[in-house]
Chain A
Amino acid sequence: MKTIYEKSVKNRTGYSLPKDYFSEENISNIIPGYAFSSKEKELPEVSEVDVIRHFTKLSKLNYGVDDGLYPLGSCTMKYNPKINEKLANLDNFIYAHPFAAEDYVQGSLQIMYELEKALKEITGMVRFTMMPAAGAHGELTGVLIIKKYFEDKGKPRHKMLIPDSAHGTNPASSAMAGFKAIEVKSDERGGVNINELEKLMDEDTAGLMLTNPNTVGLFDENIEKITEIVHSKGGFLYYDGANLNALLGIVRPGDAGFDVVHLNLHKTFSTPHGGGGPGAGVIGVKEELEEFLPSPIVGFDNKRYFFEDPKKSIGRVRAFYANFPVILKAYAWILSLGADGLRNAAETSIINANYVLAKLKKYYKPAYDRTCMHECVLTGREYKEYGVKTLDIAKRLMDYGFHPPTIYFPHFEPYAEETIMIEPTESESKETLNQFIEAMIKIAQEAKTQPEILNEAPHNTPVGRLDEVAAVRNPKLTFKGQLWSLKKLKQQ
């Protein structure tokens, strides 16, 4: 499909401007010569009709949750309620300026405060910041809080433990916060290897970042032991909330000994993923860590909502308070479900994942042959001998009209290789799951009988498999290539 630049026609306009009644004074007299650009910048020239058609066409090349099953493991692609979109778009919210005085934004502050209250109840934490814009941003915030705690005590710690099954963001966030990331191996049951944890946890280690249920979809049955080991050395237990969906109303991370949690509101709490963002990665902490939260946070004196600054705050991690509409939608979702609904969501997500596991384990060997939580991890290992990679299986699924699951993650030897991580969420009905299961079984058969169909898949998508190697070897990162801008500059 053509880019918007290829649709440009000289002198076509897509804008509507207010009338310019100001004097005809030449702008070049106002703006100093060292900064004034004598020419317009080379953006496209298209009409509103062109733009609407262009983007409508672009949108049709995408696949969203509203199109069908999106079983991307660890991403919790659940349904995004429409009423929440409407509520987040109320004029009084969207036009609110972040520097407007507190008295004028009591509604916005109330929503932040009330969501915090609900999240405290759901997680068992004491205080939240709404600031982080994404899960990884929350992780960075969380580990910086932990780091500052130890520095404040005058006993800085330098290491952070991270299981081999963790998301790549955990070690990356720890490194950004100045910690040395130390890997802890998984055991044969799929949990943290307790012996190794005991060996590694020492008084220079700030804590353990744990995803629970973990990325192989298992609840770490040794959680009490893990908590004890980490706490006995004065460390903190960090909860990566990527998989909280399984535990809503069943376990509160705070009760299980976690000291810091990040929640991906765009996963567990139903706010749209938006093609990769904006989401929100709010952070909750226990008492000891409260004073280190980023500033400001929202307070309430039973009459009025206000901002307050935690005493020993790590500072800001972005310019303003929150991805506000995301906060609002998450709260609307919680209110729509209530306590029973949340538990229903968790239980249904667990049933759905186990149902897929039970029906498919004959065809795709599970990483661990146990019942799972809200996602199951299968593998494509057995089809290697037919010349079929896990990637081929995923690509073939698109021909059957489904978004593929997460593949090749988690990856750790010897248990999790060639992984296919399936998270159906509570949004999927049994009928949809049956269709998916049927497609997966067909693909398993095809792998044995007609592997070339898989190797060449997908066949029915707007484009076929793309050459990612060429994209790096011969980079084209902008229309008409990387040299456009420099050439243009020289011409001026």
Chain B
Amino acid sequence: MQKSTQITEKSKTKMRYIPNTEKQKEEMLKEIGVSSMGELLKDIPSSVRIKGKLNLPEALSEEELKEKFYTISKKNLDFFSYKPLVGAGAYRHTVPEAVKAIVSREEFYTSYTPYQPEISQGNLQSMFEYQTHISRLTGMEVVVPSIYDGASATAEAVLMALRITHKNKIIVSQLLHPHYKETVGTYTEPHKTEIIQLPYGNGLANIEKLESLADDDTACVVIQSPNFLGGIEDVKQISEIAHKKGALVVQVVAESMSLGLLKFPAEMDVDIVAGEAQSFGMELNFGGPFNGYIASKMKFIRQIPGRMAGETTDKNGKRGFVMTFRAREQDIRREKATSNICSNHALNIVVSNAYLSLMGKVGLRKIAEYNVKAAHYLYDKLLESGKFKSISYPFFNEFMLYAHNESKIEKALIDNKFIPPLRLSTFYPELEGYMLFSVTEIFTKENLDFIANLLGGQMK
């Protein structure tokens, strides 16, 4: 810390975000009835006060600030021009400019949690509409539109299943996103929950093994589909086995774009869906903010964490929306709440609501189809080249291939402005040499031909 100066001297700096002038502050102190700022701080013992002043850089002007951040941003890659062949829980899809225009409205981004519904109908109706979108994509009746992200939504879904079943053992697919798995571990650690791994083979969960692993003490089976390798699981079969043992099924959807093309999780008899909606209009932003959701059945509503909106009427019979089923929450129930969560990423709800409204019934399906076609196109081309080997399994927009030389591939791709796929050995030592490719609608056929030639042909 720097050397001390007199307390009130420091507030004499002018700052454009602080309207009151020094003169006004003096007047106000007088009207409050104190002689000085110091008198308002008298409760603070001197022993805990800062003796000098904080050692921070001098305040920057707006122009200086801009320059500093522009300069720092240049130390990142020019990410717009580098299309990622990596997904693994973070997908670059096209975000319509209309979505960005909508969320840059101050009424959305400078408002707070809708505690006063009369002047928050915009956010509340947006939550309600988005709940409807997710309900119509998952087939579930109840939707919590915002948990921090897919990983924490998965962890909350597991805690919910523990509460519903009063059991303390869970079976988790090894093809659950490794970061989600770790988050589930962190959240369940205090409850000493027994976590059993469901092994995989050929790109999919080993369903036969589930028969022997699930028993009467199992609270839930956590299955991601499409799984971490992009594989499309037979969730219905998993549900049948789990339900026979009285366990719930939590389906994790890390790539929600898949819901545009795949059956409703409800149709697969899933009990709780824990999803990540980043693909619905959110930029990558180095991994956050994303937005998780939980969708479930009406009968579990009182065990659901987080905030949701419901329709009602005002005193004149006019339709309006409120936060509802609030008695589950921390501000009412404190330590007995279903969760401590009180944020809802309302701004990201607006983003995904606008995105899904724009894409609509046909558009979302078409994008999902494009993703499947494009991913399979690249997969086929790379295999044809003879430079890659594969294990065959049904996949959505991600697939793994065995590459002979990961670093060479990475270099070739970066040199040609593509972010390389993920090395699967980062998380699965047994998959040494395998890379996880992700292909979305940001890749044109031309791009894919180029990549296929680059990796399959010219590269030695």
> Of A42, A350, A464, which is within 8 A of B40 by CB?
A350
| Residue of A whose beta carbon sits closest to that of B45 | A224
Known: A224-B48, A485-B141. A110 touches B75 (CB 8 A): yes
Contact B285 A325 (CB under 8 A): yes
Residues in B whose Cβ lies below 8 Å from that of A135: 342-343
B125 nearest in chain A by CB position: A58
**Among residues 139 to 183 in chain B, which have CB atoms less than 8 Å away from a CB atom of chain A?**
139-143, 146, 148-152, 159, 177, 179-180, 182-183
Is the beta-carbon distance between A63 and B107 smaller than 8 angstroms? yes
Q: Complex Cα distance A187/B126, Å?
A: 43
A22 B102 Cβ-Cβ under 8 A: no
Min CB distance B7 to A, Å, is 8
What string of 1s and 0s marks CB contacts (under 8 Å) between A35-71 and chain B? 1110011111110100110111011111111110010
Q: Which residues of the partner chain B approach A489 to less than 8 Å between Cβ atoms? A: 139, 264, 266-267
Of B31-39, B194-202, B208-216, the stretch lying at the interface with chain A is: B31-39
Q: Is A140 in the interface zone, CB < 8 Å from B?
A: yes
Contact assessment for A277 and B345 in the assembled complex, using a CB-CB cutoff below 8 Å:
yes
Instruction: Return A19 CB to nearest CB of chain B, in Å.
Output: 8
List of A residues within 8 angstroms of B367 by Cβ: 15, 17
B203 CB within 8 Å of chain A: no
The CA of A141 and the CA of B82, in the complex, are separated in Å by 34
B-side contacts of A229, CB under 8 Å: none
How many residue pairs bridge A and B at CB < 8 Å? 737
Chain A interface bracket (under 10, 10 to 19, 20 to 34, 35 or more)? 35 or more
Contact: B69 with A478, CB < 8 Å?
Answer: no
**CA–CA, A97 to B92, complex, Å?**
8
Give every chain A residue within 8 A of B391 (Cβ-Cβ): none
In the complex, which residue of chain B has the Cβ closest to the Cβ of A140?
Answer: B340
Report the bound CA distance from A178 to B187 in whole Å.
10
Give A147's nearest chain B residue, CB to CB. Answer: B190
Answer whether residue A389 sits at the interface, using C-beta atoms and an 8 A cutoff: no
Interface residue total, chain B, C-beta cutoff 8 A: 217
- A463 touching B318 in the complex, CB below 8 Å, given contacts A46-B357, A315-B183: yes
Do the beta carbons of B261 and A97 come within 8 Å of each other?
A: no
| Cross-chain contact B283 with A95 (CB below 8 angstroms) | yes
The answer, among A169, A318, A357, for a CB contact under 8 Å with B340, is: A169
Q: Are B148 and A133 in contact (CB under 8 A)?
A: yes
Mark interface residues in A448-479 (1 if CB within 8 Å of B CB, else 0): 00000000101001111111101110011111
Complex Cα distance A252/B178, Å? 37
Which residue of chain B has its CB nearest to the CB of A118?
A: B56
- CB contacts (< 8 Å) of A403 on chain B: these are 116, 119
Distance in angstroms between the alpha carbons of A478 and B40 in the assembled complex = 50
B208 to chain A, nearest CB (A): 16
Indicate if the CB atoms of B347 and A274 lie closer than 8 Å.
yes
Query: Given A316-B151, A347-B11, is A83 in contact with B330 using a C-beta cutoff of 8 Å?
Result: no
Stretch at the interface among A101-109, A283-291, A380-388, A439-447: A101-109
Q: Closest 6 A-B residue pairs measured CB to CB?
A: A320-B287, A178-B190, A338-B59, A275-B346, A274-B347, A98-B287
Report 26 cross-chain contacts, Cβ distance below 8 Å, ordered by A residue. A4-B353, A22-B377, A35-B233, A55-B354, A81-B17, A99-B422, A100-B86, A122-B54, A122-B56, A171-B330, A172-B339, A179-B190, A250-B49, A251-B49, A273-B111, A273-B113, A278-B343, A279-B343, A314-B189, A324-B289, A328-B69, A336-B17, A338-B58, A340-B12, A471-B312, A482-B141
